[in-house]
Amino acid sequence: MAEPAKLVRRLSLLDSVLLLAGGIIGSGIFLTAQDVATSTRTPWLFLSVWALGMGITLLACFAFAEMGAMFPEAGGQYVYMREAFGEFVAFLYGWMIFTVSVGGTIAALGVGFAVYLGSVFPDLAAAKPVATLWHFHLTCGHLVAISAIAVQTLINIFGVRKGAILQNVATWLKFAAIAGFVVLGVAIGKGSWGHLSSALAIPASASSPSLLGGVGVALIAVFWAYDGWVYITWVSGEVKDPQRNIPRALVFGLLLVGGIYLLINAVYLYGLPMAEIAKATAVAQSAALVMFSSRAATWLGLVIALSCFGAMASCILSGARVYYAMAEDGVFFKRLARVNPRWHTPVASLVLQGIWSAALALSGRYDQLFTYVMFMMVLSYVLTVVALFVLRRKLPDRDRPYRCTGYPWLPGLYVALGGAWALNALWERPMEALAGITIVLAGVPFYFYWRHQKRCQEAVTIQRSASEL
């Protein structure tokens, strides 16, 4: 009997770094400055919170790098949680990733791609219905979003190498466009570095927010903009020389993104004072309009569309590997564990992911769901860093090609900071945090259903083996 097909290692270090960077840089950096400015109020704090977000995330990356080198398997963070805390906790994480995190991210990026492409080509964003499905009006914008999801899913089905080439090209184009915005903005843009000394005034009727509370709220937006760094761990089963390349990709990729984010936000401040940033929903386009012209603002819409497309490529490629790992463990749809013998990709997992993401894009609820689950995502990172301590005790003799930098102090610092942030988020945004907890707990009955199915299958297998003897 032929052995079932397996995933193959075809992603280089460069592919891995670009997957991480391309997955992080989506629409967030172009949209979150308003929330950060409102919470921080001063230019230097506005910039510092981006560096702080990178530094805190880097602490987690050091811990993930050790576990990634220990367990270079598809699923990444899901595997680390399974090894440390057991199958149930790992399943709840995977459930959140499928139902909201990845599905919602792909949906949001697909719709963002359609919206910003529509700012350049208005006919593509037309709200006029082009078809009706069960009383639901399908618009041109819906078609563009769904088409982008479908095309990228199809390319990833035909091989991880093709998916990597797609995300690499999109990421390099994204880097070039961002470099053009930064360099031209400083060189010929009509801005002023004097904006660095103009703080956002607090209305006389408003109470002055605490520094820690403001930074904590700002970090909600910052962590969202940095989210996606974990993607590389999900595709660990397809990375060449994973013991070396996964730690390198995590650290190098995050430092690269952090540098880019600081440059972009500095240019925002060069183009606009804090008061204007706090008013601008699409701050990148507002800054381009002031520094250049209305044409530049339109051109930047194309840049953001490209950025959304590139981030979606990384998310589609990596997300399907989490459900594949869950299915291999018998706690998700069994068919998702199959790998196509010709393309060596988890086709069923990619297809299900695409269908669910398209459904969320049509529903229009993806942004609300993702807001709810951001609290749980950061909480999952904190729990996974705690897993590092558990695994050091549980598997002391396990080979560790990379050992966490600054252990135990730096990962301990991340747990303290991440835990404090979670408590602050629970205090400042209790409804969103509780909604995220509810979404995760909704997976409990599904776990017990699949767990029962797995035990039944194991019993059947044992009976067949006994009868053959």
Please list the ranges in the chain whose pLDDT falls under 70: 1-3, 123-138, 200-212, 364-372, 466, 468-469
* pLDDT digits 0-9 by tens, 214-251: 787 788 788 888 988 999 999 999 999 999 999 999 99
Domains parsed from the chain with CATH numbers: 14-468 (1.20.1740.10)
Please give, one letter per residue, the 3-state secondary structure of the chain: CCCCCCCCCCECHHHHHHHHHHHHCCCHHHHCHHHHHHHHCCHHHHHHHHHHHHHHHHHHHHHHHHHHHHCCCECCHHHHHHHHHCHHHHHHHHHHHHHHHHHHHHHHHHHHHHHHHHHHCHHHHCCCEEEEECCEEEEHHHHHHHHHHHHHHHHHHCCHHHHHHHHHHHHHHHHHHHHHHHHHHHHHCCCCHHHHHCCCCCCCCCCCCCHHHHHHHHHHHHHHHHCCCCHHHHEHHHECCHHHHHHHHHHHHHHHHHHHHHHHHHHHHHHCCHHHHCCCCCHHHHHHHHHCCHHHHHHHHHHHHHHHHHHHHHHHHHHHHHHHHHHHCCCCCHHHHCCCCCCCCCHHHHHHHHHHHHHHHHHCCHHHHHHHHHHHHHHHHHHHHHHHHHHHHHCCCCCCCCCCCCCCHHHHHHHHHHHHHHHHHHHHCHHHHHHHHHHHHCCHHHHHHHHHHHHHHHHHHHHHHHHHC
What is the pLDDT at residue 2?
57
pLDDT at 351 (0 to 100): 96
Average pLDDT of the chain, as a whole number = 86
pLDDT, position 72: 93
